[in-house]
Amino acid sequence: MCYPKVLVATPVYLVLLHYPMTNRLGELVTTAVTNMDIHDISRSARTYGIRKYFIVNPLEIQHELVGRLLGHWQTEHSRMHHPDRVSALSVARLARDFDEVKKAIRDEHGEEPEVVLTDARPLPNSISYADYRQELMDPKRTRPCVLVFGTGWGVAEIFHPEVHRILAPVYGPKDEEGEGYNHLSVRSAVAIILDRLFGH
C-alpha cells in the first residue's frame, strides 16, 4: 500500500474502542461493534493514509461476528466485484484490548505509539489540530501515533492513564449559548478529524 509520506512523516494508526466506555448513566460498559463503524471508518482511514484501523472489543462473540464480516471482504468474489471496498477494509484489524494494539505497533516500529485521545468534551491540556498537524509533519519524528475514538457515551476515565495527548473537541459555528452542540457520530468525528490533520 502507498502511504502519503509527503504530507505526514509519522506512521498514524486509528483505534475505535468498545471498552472501556461509559453509558448514558456514566457506568462502565462494553459496547457492540456496528457495521457502519467498520465500513465508514475503514473508508476514511484508507483515504487519509492510516496504517491500520484497530477495532478493539474484548468479547469473543463480537470477534466471531466481525471476523466473519471482515473475512467476506477478503474473498476472491469481493476482490473482483468490489475492489475499492476490499482496499478500504484491508486496513481494519480486530483486537481484544489496547495492549494488543500497542504491541502490534511496537512490533512494527520498535517504539511505543503516542496515544492521542479525541473527545467531544473539552478536557484540560488539549492541543489544536493545526499544532498537532505540524508535529506529525516533522520529518525528524519517528514515533508512531495512534488516534483513539470512542463509542457509547465516550471513552471512560479509566483509559486516561494510557493517554499522552488530547485533541481539542471539534465545534461548528458558535451559537448564542456559547460553544454549541457538538455531539458527532464517531464516523463523522473520524472523517472531520482526519481531514483537519491530513487533508489538503
Ligand X SMILES: C[S@@+](CC[C@H](N)C(=O)[O-])C[C@H]1O[C@@H](n2cnc3c(N)ncnc32)[C@H](O)[C@@H]1O
Residue nearest ligand X, Cβ-based: 150
Sequence-distant (6+) residues with CB within 8 A of 91 are 42, 45, 46, 50, 51, 52, 53
- Binding-site string for ligand X from residue 6 to residue 45, where x marks contact by CB under 6 A and - marks none: ----------------------------------------
* Cβ distance to ligand X smaller for residue 86 or 184: 184
Residue 76, helix vs strand vs coil: helix
- How far is 40 from 187, CA to CA, in rounded Å? 6
Total site size for ligand X, rule CB under 6 A: 17
From candidates 50, 91, 189, 194, binder to ligand X by CB under 6 A: 189
- Which stretch, 41-49, 82-90, 115-123, 138-146, contacts ligand X (CB under 6 A)? 115-123
What angle do helix axes 186-198 and 129-137 make, rounded to 10 degrees?
60
**Which contiguous run of DSSP H or E holds residue 121?**
none
Q: Per CB under 6 A, does 151 bind ligand X? A: yes
Q: At what angle do helices 35-47 and 186-198 cross, to 10 degrees?
A: 10
Least distance CB 118 / ligand X (angstroms): 4
Q: From the list 149, 156, 166, 194, which residue makes contact with ligand X (rule: CB under 6 A)?
A: 149
What distances in angstroms separate CA 59 from CA 18, 55, 64, 99, 116, one per listed residue? 10, 12, 9, 15, 24
Is residue 185 a contact residue for ligand X (CB under 6 A)?
yes
Does 155 bind ligand X (CB under 6 A)? Our answer is: yes
> Can you give the binding site for ligand X, defined by CB under 6 A?
118-120, 149-151, 153-155, 169-170, 182-186, 189
